[in-house]
Structure 1
Amino acid sequence: MLTINVAVLLAVIVVLRLRRRTEARSRRDEKLTVVIVLALGVLLAPTAVGQGIADVLGQLAGGVTQAGR
């Protein structure tokens, strides 16, 4: 349960950071956002939600590959 709560908190932080205008971001600010997103990915990956997202993205990628042939 703790993993999901931290993941939700990180997701909220990511959404708030990405809502800011691009011009207002410094290079350091962008790097921090990338680190936060990577941490969110590490927290979500082993959960059922993370596995569901991976399955959906895998099916989407497979559909795009099939459509390109």
Structure 2
Amino acid sequence: MLTINVAVLLVVIVVLRLRRRTQARSRSDERMTVLIVLALGIILAPTEVGQDLAAFLGQLVSSVSQAAQ
């Protein structure tokens, strides 16, 4: 039996959608991409991976802001 992690599937979909040229996207296509990214965020947020990613991004933003000062 093959199982697919929903978060991994959404990441693949987001990457494929974002690879397309911006000029080729309609408003409804952009809205769909935003909804998919929001769904991915909701799925990842309560997980350990989501928490680690949030901590990493927080440290990155903090170090960039300190470097800019």
Shorter-chain TM-score category? 0.7 to 0.9
Which residue identity lines up with residue 14 of structure 2 in the other structure? V
Counterpart of 1:18 in structure 2 is 18
- State the alpha-carbon separation in 1 of the partners of residues 68 and 15 from structure 2: 32
- State the alpha-carbon separation in 2 of the partners of residues 67 and 21 from structure 1: 33
% of aligned pairs identical? Answer: 71
Corresponding position: 1:37 with 2:37: yes
In the superposition, the TM-score normalised over structure 2's length comes to 0.88
Q: What whole-Å deviation, never above 9, does each CA across 1:36-55 have from its counterpart, x for those lacking one?
A: 00000000011111111101
Q: CA RMSD in A?
A: 1.3
Counterpart of 1:6 in structure 2 is 6
* SS of residue paired to 1:41: helix
Determine which structure has greater relative contact order: mean sequence separation of CA pairs < 8 Å that are 6+ residues apart, divided by chain length.
Answer: 1
Question: Which structure 1 residue ranges, 4+ long, deviate > 3 Å from structure 2?
Answer: none
Unmatched runs of 5 consecutive residues or more in structure 1: none
- Write the mapping of 1:28-67 to structure 2, written as runs, cut at 5 A: 28-67=28-67
In the superposition, the TM-score normalised over structure 1's length comes to 0.88
Number of residue pairs the alignment of both structures matches? 66
Unmatched runs of 5 consecutive residues or more in structure 2: none
